[in-house]
Chains A and B, each alone.
Chain A
Amino acid sequence: MKLREFLPRGYVFTVVGIAVGVAGLVSLGAMAERITRFIEGGDRFVLGQISVAGEGMGMGAGFTAGGLLSAAKIREIAAVPGVSGVQAQVMLPLNTSTSNFMTLTQELVMGMDLSVPIPNRNYRELPVASGRPLRTDDRRSAVLGAEFAASRHLRTGATVSLGGQDFAVVGILEKTFTAPDRFALVPIEDARELWLRRDPLLVQVFGAGSLRRGDLNTGAAVGWSDGEDPDAVARRIQSTVTGLNVTIPGELSRLLRQSTAFFSALLLGIGALGLLIGGLSLANTVTAAVFERIRDFGIKRALGATDMALLREVLGEGLRVSLWGGAAGVLLAWSIGTAVDARVLRDGQQLFLFSPRLLTFALVFSLALGALAAGYATLRIVRLSPAEAIRRGS
């Protein structure tokens, strides 16, 4: 089939009209997808582990805000029945001048005890897009989150300054669209070093000799054995080991969903708005295009076209035009989204996520609505006599 036959003549403006509508739908959808992935990613992370911190208001940050979690406590936790592994962690805000409470997506330095496997069931290992993961014998090495690296134009092999100390970038994580994108993962010993360097109070406590290096943990990720109920294990830890802040995965997930309820509502609004704007634009454009050709349909009926023949013809054209318009709209939205993201990525942000399910939905939506609109317009037209159709279209 020639290209000209695939795109019926005289439909260029119709295609442009549909493309604008679909571009609106896809752009809004891509923003909604981005927010959805962020919320889902966070939920997946907290449901994959039990997060534990020391009692009280500590100096840590991130998921395990609380008091110091000593090595002794970590050993006690590991002995609780149902616990499969405990990984000590140190989470520090990279920029201490930014309030932890004012930012949802702050950049964090996350020190991990690499001598034990990651206990998070949903992230057995953080996927590395380039370079390699951290190893147990690494020091002054870092694996960076995708946005952390992109916003600084860092690649594997580069050097990054964290808290005034240089680290070799040995790997870049795959984009997760959630918290780890803004992490700098380092060996826990390096994170402890950074912590001591920046916190005078901690230095005094540490200098008094009551603490050892292994006690400098802002928290721990705890895994559970197969067949165990994570909430039950978390409550067992809470009741067995004193002096802990234990987050119950189910409760945390619920809390997370409550705290992101605004985003969920926003998401629904964006989605509805996208469907409304894109759908109305597309349906209106296709209907108008069919009505514009009312004279042609009158002529065709005068030449013997039956209602069904016309319906088939118009549906075929409607589908082809909608497909062109849908594809052009997707391309337009993708181009604009990519250009905007390239600009905002400098600040470590990404606004759009053009997921395959969104693009597939946009195309199917275009085709279905295009066919419906074309069918509706045709049914209106075939009610007219051929002479009336010719008169109205002339």
Chain B
Amino acid sequence: MLRAAGLSKTYAGPQGVPVPVLHGIELEVKSGEFVAVVGASGSGKSTLLNLLGLLEPASAGEVWLGEERVSHLGRRAQARVRGASIGYVFQSFLLLSGLTALDNVLLAARYVGRDRALAQRQALALLERMGVAHRKDHYPPQLSGGEQQRVAYCRAVLNRPPLVLADEPTGNLDDEHARVILAELRASTAERGAAVVLVTHRPEAQAGADRVLRLRDGRLV
């Protein structure tokens, strides 16, 4: 489903000094597989997720989604892939404060040209399933952290993407809310056959993963 070959990333530091973050990552994740990525702070976990999710360009290497080498597509085509094939869950939720919970979820459907009425029915069903349907008309600042993350999860899976990338999705949540999110991520692999790559520090998340990858100094070990 997802394959990375020779993936590297180097940032430009102060005075243009290059700062290498990832070195030649080789990675393959199958459909329905739940992979946890762990490592110390600064080891490159979030950068790896950004490269896999086409949120920033790699310095070298390739990312394949199915049979398509998505890392080398044009900007417009990459936008299409991000909208239709990849769902993101971020540690800080990243909801738009000017939109209601429901509109935040529906944002995922806006850019892929989906029928709004159908998307709205599915969004409401997802919010219901995540226990936040009663908050659909509330704005993010009016929601608790746990509720915001559940809304963000609904947005990530609204288009039923074959790949879900989650960057410390439980980092700002208490144990109870963290369990809900992890269970849903797990369910999306089992029920939909989606591939999930999860960056986490939580031991229970690692325990529930099909595979745990360790990053150290930008290398998988």
| Contact surface of A with B, Cβ cutoff 8 Å | 8-10, 295-296, 299-309, 385-388, 390, 394
Contact = CB atoms under 8 A, between A and B. Distances in A.
B96 A305 contact: no
Contact of A307 (B75, B90, B110): B75
23 contacts: A9-B99, A10-B98, A299-B94, A300-B107, A300-B111, A301-B79, A303-B108, A303-B111, A304-B80, A304-B84, A304-B112, A305-B111, A306-B79, A306-B111, A307-B75, A309-B79, A309-B111, A385-B50, A385-B55, A386-B55, A386-B82, A387-B50, A390-B90
A306 B112 CA distance: 10
Contacts of A307: 75-76, 79
A175 to B, nearest CB: 46
A306 B96 contact: no
B83 interface: yes
B107 to A, nearest CB: 6
Given A296-B98, A304-B84, A309-B111, 17 more contacts: A10-B97, A295-B94, A299-B107, A300-B107, A301-B82, A302-B88, A302-B94, A303-B88, A303-B111, A303-B155, A304-B82, A304-B112, A306-B75, A308-B76, A385-B50, A385-B57, A387-B55
**Closest 3 pairs (CB-CB, A-B):** A304-B83, A304-B111, A385-B56
Interface in B23-47: none
Q: Which of B94, B108, B155 has the most CB of A within 10 A?
A: B94
Contacts of A8: 98
Contacts, number: 66
Nearest to A10: B98
A16 to B, nearest CB: 17
Given A309-B111, A394-B92, A303 B83 contact: yes
Contacts of B108: 303-304
Contacts of B98: 8-10, 296
B53 interface: yes
Contacts of A303: 82-83, 88, 107-108, 110-111, 155
A390 B94 CA distance: 9
Contacts of B50: 385, 387
A312 B97 CA distance: 20
A286 B153 CA distance: 32
A309 B113 CA distance: 11
Interface centre among A295, A388, A390 (most CB of B within 10 A): A390
Contact of A306 (B56, B76, B92, B97): B76
Given A10-B97, A390-B94, A302 B107 contact: no
